[in-house]
Amino acid sequence: MNYKTFIKAASVLALTTAALVSATAANASPLVAPNDKGGSDSKTYQSKECESAWAAKAKQMNISPAGEACLVSVTTSVSDARTVSASALGKAKATLSPSEFQALATAVSAGTVKSKSFRQQSIHAASSLTQWGTFYYDGNRVWVTTPYRGFTGSHFCQVDYVVAFSIQPQNCYDTGSNTSRTIVQQWLVTPFLDGFHLSWNESYSIDVLADGTVRY
């Protein structure tokens, strides 16, 4: 009797364990390819452009070294990849030839057309600047603001706040090849200082690749 009881208990335990494994697998998040994962990075350093401009004026005027005025903290974050779904094909169909649409439908079915959102903020002693948007990639090509396969990404640049400085946008664009794009924000920075004029250019960028890799 004890032997039968043991066999029955072991069977119940095995069934319970199998059910737990099955439930865990059902509720687990799907595996994400390394290149499809998002992430974030923060760096703090002295702006070389700011220091160079400040040093040039310091030789002419009786002013102290730049110090904190040239300190910048840059934080870049990128989302996990989002796969373009079949429901999005209707929007693309009107802009593509039959052969292009068929190729896109095949790629979407295979889950190879994806997008990621990005955000890069640079914080200074008295200002904050941000660029953000979305890019697409399919393993062979990456694109941001240039339409491709019926989809277009986005790119925006803005001054979040500024005190005692004038900050003017110079460029907000992406450049590069079909397999690698550099997303750039450029600004002209001018502090309000009595007695002399001082200004410099600042530029921050993100590199995105056709396989979804992001470098910042």
Per-residue pLDDT, 132: 98
Per-residue pLDDT, 32: 62
Residues of the chain scoring pLDDT < 50: 1-29
Q: Which helix (H) or strand (E) is 135 found in, with range?
A: strand 127-137
Per-residue pLDDT, 116: 98
Per-residue pLDDT, 141: 96
- The full DSSP string for 7-48 is HHHHHHHHHHHHHHHHHHHHHSPPP--GGG--EEEEEEEE-H
Per-residue pLDDT, 161: 94
**Alpha-carbon Rg for the chain in angstroms:** 26
Per-residue pLDDT, 170: 95
Tokens of 13: 């335990």
The reply to whether the predicted model has a pTM over 0.85 is no
Per-residue pLDDT, 162: 93
Rounded to whole angstroms, the Cα distance separating 187 from 116 reads: 25
Rounded to whole angstroms, the Cα distance separating 215 from 203 reads: 15
Q: Which residue has the tokens 């590199």?
A: 207
Per-residue pLDDT, 172: 97
CB 205 within 8 A of CB 183: yes
Per-residue pLDDT, 21: 36
CA distances from 64 to 49, 135, 166, 192, 199 (A): 17, 43, 20, 15, 16
Rounded to whole angstroms, the Cα distance separating 137 from 114 reads: 6
Per-residue pLDDT, 191: 84
Per-residue pLDDT, 25: 41
